[in-house]
Each structure stands twice: as C-alpha cells, then as structure tokens.
Amino acid sequence: MAKRSFARVGIKARPVTFFILAGLILLGLLLSITGMKLPVPGQQDLFQLNGIQEIRFGIDIRGGVEAVFAAREYEGVPSAEDLDSARSVIELRMDNLQILDREITVDKNSGRILVRFPWRSDETAFNPDDALQELGEMARLTFRDPDGNIVLEGNDVARSYAAVNPDTNEPIVELELSSSGQAKFTEATGRLVGKIISIYMDDTTLSEPRVNQQITGNRAFIEGSFTVPEAVALAEKINAGALPFALQAISSRSISPTMGQGALQVMLQAGLVSILAVFLFMLLYYRLPGFVACIGLLGQVVGILLAISIPQQTLTLQGIAGIILSIGMGVDANIIIAERIKEEIRTGCTLQTALSNGFTRALPSVVDGNLTTAIAAVVLMIFGSGSMLSFAYTLLAGLVFNIVMGLFACRFMIGSLSQFKKLQNPWLYGRKGAGQNA
C-alpha cells in the first residue's frame, strides 16, 4: 500500500486581496510623504496626520537651540542634589514631549544648566526665545494654606495627570506624592479640613481646591468643574513645577547641525539608492516572491515613517540607524521565506502547498530573530534616554512592521497572486527552467 500523508492547504486569499493590500500601502506612502488634515466646522483641525516633512529631526541633522538656565531669586549656589533633581525634571519633560535628542549639562560649581534641543518640525522663524516656550514653565510650584504658608513644594509631587472620577465620571487631576510629600500633605490636610490649599506657580494662582478630609496615602486628587482640557493643562503645569527652584534662561542661541548643512539630503539620497538596489536584487533573484517582498518592505518603511511622524518622535542619526537595521532584518526575513518556498517547489510540491509550507517553516527563524532584537529594543527604551530612545523606538517600530508585512501581508499578497493562472509557473517562484504550471 502506498504511503499517504496529509498536505497543508494553500494560502486562502482572493485574487483581489493583492490589489487591496498594495493599494493601502501606496496610500500610506502618499500620506507619509504629504500628510493629511481633516478639518471640521468650527475647528481648524480635528485630526492631522503628519507627513515626512513634519518629522522632527535631531540636532545632528537640523540644528536647534542652546540655552543656559540659572536659579532665579536664589541665594547662593544650589546644592548638587537640587541641580540633579532639576536636570531630572527637564529630562522627564523632554521625554514627554518626545524630544529624544538633547544635551543637558549641569555645572555644579556655578549652579547653571546648559540645555540643547532640536527645532520643532514646523519651526520657520528659528527664534531661540520662542523655542524655549516648548519646555514649559520654569517657575516654582508651591501649595499654600490660607495664611500663605508653604505646605508642599513642587519636588514633593512625584507626578500629576488628568483622570476621570469613577463615581461622578467627571474630570479630575490626580497627584502622586513623594515619600517626603506624603508626610507633609498628611499633616497639612489634617489641620486644614474644610479650608482651601491654594496651588501657586510663583505668585500666580493655578487652583484653589478645598480639603474635604485628611489624606494619609501617597495619592490625592483635585476635583471641581473641570473640562478635560483644563484638567490636562493643570496636571501639566503641576508636573512642570516639580523643580526644586525656579529657573530662568540667562542666554539662548541657535546652533548649527553637528553633521553639517545638507547632511539630511545626502542621507535621503543614499537611502533611496540603497533600497532601490535591494529591490533590484530581490526582483532578479527571487522573481515573484521578490516582487511581493519589495511591496512588503515598502509597507514597512511607510509604517516606520508614520510611527515617527504621527507622535512627533525626534529622528536622530541613531534613529536612522535603527530604521536601517530593522529594514535589513526585513530583507533577511523575506529571503528566508523565499528560499523556503524555493526548496518546497524543488521537492515537487504543488504551488499552493509550497507557499503554505514555505511561510510556515520560515516562521520560527523569522520570529526568533525579530523577538530577540525586540527584547533588546524594549530594554533600551526602559533604561535608556535621549538619542538612545530614538534608536530603540525606530528599531522596535521597524520590527513590528517587519512581522506584520513579512509574515502576514506578504503571505496574503503572494497567495492572492498565485490564484492567477499565468502566475502559477513554478519558475516564477524559484524553480530552474520553464517548468509546468502547478
């Protein structure tokens, strides 16, 4: 009796699937280049999708601002601990603003802080003083009782954020207190029940919440007739005031790109030539799977660009290195898949079985390589800062789109094309000679 075995079913995809996916990728390419705005009546922009021209490039590529900050209305020189605390607050602000390329230098002898950061993507005036407004208030935050006594300072608040009261479904501002702040706030709220604790930024009143009960934990919230934007604005101002002392910019100036003028244009040209060379190799050597791989790689590039431009992540030279590395891994994944398909064709499998087996058997190798690199990228995002975050972010985004495009989109696109009779010739999938239709 002849041996029998179960054959894998082919990739289930309709002929139109290729055109739908390829059309979506081309649409994404168009949007990543031009951007998109959706206006609504009464508002300027409900939603804006930033294109490649709105990407915020790092100091090394586009230049930026250099500013020197000093303590305002402060006797003597701030302690090393306070200066380090101020530096941490500024770094946190920049992380929240996605300003991943920056240099923050503390001179503990003079008590000054040197900050460098890149221009915004929409900057046209290149005015350093205006650019500093993006960093937010550098004033001193205090919580005061009705007699004007300070009961809590900015560095006693670990962080603040807008939230929703689960009981009333109204916007609130939550405060997370440090260990020192918790003890101070417990004492103050215990003696001021029914009274107001005012929140000041320097001498400007931000809010005047009333104490309803003593607060003993490390969390508190401010409630009132907030709108969501008002709650967000107050939370941001409280976070901005977490400095141990008020800062003022005593000087600011523009700085030129560290890589020199025109570096971005050269990199774009080099990148375009490189990717065209890769596309040519894939087309000539892997034929139809190579053609599909080119579209998948294009989709990966589009995804990375959108992942950078939409949240306005700063793209530095290190970030570009992350993009190149992830694209290289995308090429590697597609080569593994194409070689697997070629091997299956050579063993005499039907075309649909070869396609299904090729993707299935390439899966462990592709996932293993991407997963281990993704773990490294996540670790860098957790423990890294500055331009290291730019590298980790672009690398991780590239790996995600590598999996999406290489293992899913390409699988359905090649399965779709294989439904056309003229595209069923095994030669198109790597078999030597003209071959017969499968």
Q: How far apart are CA 8 and CA 349, in angstroms?
A: 10
Tokens representing residue 333 in the block: 């994944």
Query: Hey, how many other C-beta atoms are within 10 angstroms of the C-beta on 108?
Result: 15
Length of the chain: 438
May I ask the CATH architecture of the domain 17-37+260-429?
Answer: Up-down Bundle (1.20)
When pLDDT is averaged across residues 187-215 and rounded to a whole number, the result is 88
Q: How far apart are CA 170 and CA 308, in angstroms?
A: 33
pLDDT(186) > 80: yes
When pLDDT is averaged across residues 55-76 and rounded to a whole number, the result is 86
Burial label for 118, CB within 10 Å (0-12, 13-18, 19+), is: buried
The pLDDT assigned to 312 comes to: 77
The pLDDT assigned to 7 comes to: 39
The pLDDT assigned to 65 comes to: 92
Q: How far apart are the first and last CA of the chain?
A: 26
Which residues fall within 8 angstroms of residue 280, CB to CB, at 6 or more apart? none
Q: What's the whole-model pTM score?
A: 0.70
Percent of the chain past pLDDT 70, that is, above it, reads 89
The pLDDT assigned to 437 comes to: 45
When pLDDT is averaged across residues 94-108 and rounded to a whole number, the result is 85
pLDDT in tens, 404-437: 998 899 999 999 999 898 998 888 987 775 444 4
When pLDDT is averaged across residues 380-397 and rounded to a whole number, the result is 85
Q: Which of 183, 194, 193, 174 is nearest to 151 (CA)?
A: 183
pLDDT in tens, 4-33: 333 344 566 788 999 999 999 998 888 877
The pLDDT assigned to 196 comes to: 92
pLDDT(49) > 80: no
Find out whether 225 and 169 touch, Cβ atoms under 8 Å.
Answer: no
When pLDDT is averaged across residues 347-360 and rounded to a whole number, the result is 88
When pLDDT is averaged across residues 333-349 and rounded to a whole number, the result is 90
Higher pLDDT, 51 or 154: 154
pLDDT(151) > 60: yes
Q: How far apart are CA 236 and CA 91, in angstroms?
A: 15
Under the phi-then-psi rule, with left for phi > 0, alpha for psi from -120 to 50, and beta for the rest, what region is 167? alpha
Structural domain spans, the chain: 17-37+260-429, 59-255
pLDDT in tens, 315-324: 888 888 899 8
The pLDDT assigned to 35 comes to: 67
pLDDT in tens, 104-137: 999 999 999 999 999 887 788 888 888 888 887 6
The pLDDT assigned to 43 comes to: 41
Query: Hey, how many other C-beta atoms are within 10 angstroms of the C-beta on 311?
Result: 10
Long-range pairs for 346-352 at CB < 8 Å and ≥24 separation?
346/430, 346/431, 349/7, 350/7, 350/10, 350/438, 351/10, 351/418, 351/424, 351/426, 351/429, 351/438, 352/9, 352/10, 352/11, 352/418, 352/438
When pLDDT is averaged across residues 147-153 and rounded to a whole number, the result is 89
pLDDT(92) > 50: yes
Identify the band that residue 48 occupies on the pLDDT scale cut at 50, 70 and 90.
low
The pLDDT assigned to 336 comes to: 92
Mean pLDDT for all residues in the chain: 83
The pLDDT assigned to 52 comes to: 64
